[in-house]
Amino acid sequence: MPPKTESELADRRTRYEEDLPEDRDNKVAQLLQEYSHIPADEIEPHLRSVRDRAWAIFPYTCIGAWRFLDLYVTKLPVYASVLGRLRDGGDRLLDAGCCFGYVLRQLAADGAPTSSLAGSDLEQPFIDLGYELFRDKDTFKGSFVAANMLSPDGEGREELNALDGTFDIVHAASFFHLFSWDDQVKLGERVVRFFRPADSSKKTNSGQPRLLFGRQVANIAPLTREELAARGEYRFHHNPATLQQLWDEIGDKTKTKWRVEAELVPETGRGRREPAADGTGKEPHKFQLWFAIYQEE
């Protein structure tokens, strides 16, 4: 989608970084060598080629600014437990808004059975580029579904609905923050349906609580919906307290109960957006929210 105005063009420029980050030993480069067996000297052109084709599909910061390279998920406090649940506990994980599915490939490289992994994204081309990026079309046994999670009637809905009730863990990174509060409630309701239904003998295969985890852009003092509208924005960026409020609302609608554990982590690099000097303009991005949201009985 080409930019329509000068300010869209300028905004897009801040989200596209020409060169790969200095740190060439990033997690994805490591994965490409060890999991995909791509020789070291082919990695940079391979990454550039996939990144630029993905950027042409939709200019997300996670793509343009190479944010996917660090595989932040391995740094989350909950990562070891997620891996244990998948590897030894028989749990199944869905990556919602998975893009290329890099988190799924990291989990696979760390020993999670790929048949217990699935991804879902609006864009089939991101999923296809993921297979191309990791060269694992013949070995990755997990499934992918292309569908709009906010549209009950859209293309791919039957495949998406077939996933209902089949997961114990959902990962969602830089996903909920794309939407307004009301759409985040709808998305939460959709996510709750993906979880394995409560069973009298056990909560999940591993016996651990159902879990949604990930990261997203945060705001220490979230703006009200009116303040967002005044800035020409609608996306609601949470702090830990508003994220709990959101999940209380989702809980009320789905007759479930959720406990949010979340921490604010300073944003670095291209994802960081400074406040405008005159207090107007787009909402600043200075922190990420890393979260783990557990279902309570």
Ligand X SMILES: C[S@@+](CC[C@H](N)C(=O)[O-])C[C@H]1O[C@@H](n2cnc3c(N)ncnc32)[C@H](O)[C@@H]1O
Residues in touch with ligand X (CB under 6 A):
60, 62, 68, 97-99, 121-123, 126, 148-150, 173-175, 178
Residue 205 C-beta: closest distance to ligand X, Å = 24
164 touches 173 (CB < 8 A): no
Locate 67 and state its tokens. 């944010």
Residue 19 C-beta: closest distance to ligand X, Å = 19
Q: Which of 97/251 has CB closer to ligand X?
A: 97
96 touches 293 (CB < 8 A): no
Residue 204 CA to residue 119 CA, distance in Å, equals 19
Q: Which of 191/260 has CB closer to ligand X?
A: 191
Residue 78 C-beta: closest distance to ligand X, Å = 15
Cα 95 from chain centroid? 7
Q: Which of 62/260 has CB closer to ligand X?
A: 62
Residue 85 C-beta: closest distance to ligand X, Å = 20
Q: Which of 116/174 has CB closer to ligand X?
A: 174
Residue among 261, 259, 262, 260 nearest 296 (CA): 259
Residue 142 C-beta: closest distance to ligand X, Å = 15
Residue 198 C-beta: closest distance to ligand X, Å = 26
Sheet with 117-121, edge to edge strand ranges: 143-146, 117-121, 93-96, 169-171, 211-218, 287-296, 257-266
Residue among 297, 196, 187, 204 nearest 247 (CA): 187
CA distances from 219 to 44, 86, 190, 286, 288 (A): 34, 32, 24, 7, 8
Q: Which of 2/279 has CB closer to ligand X?
A: 2
Q: Which of 97/222 has CB closer to ligand X?
A: 97
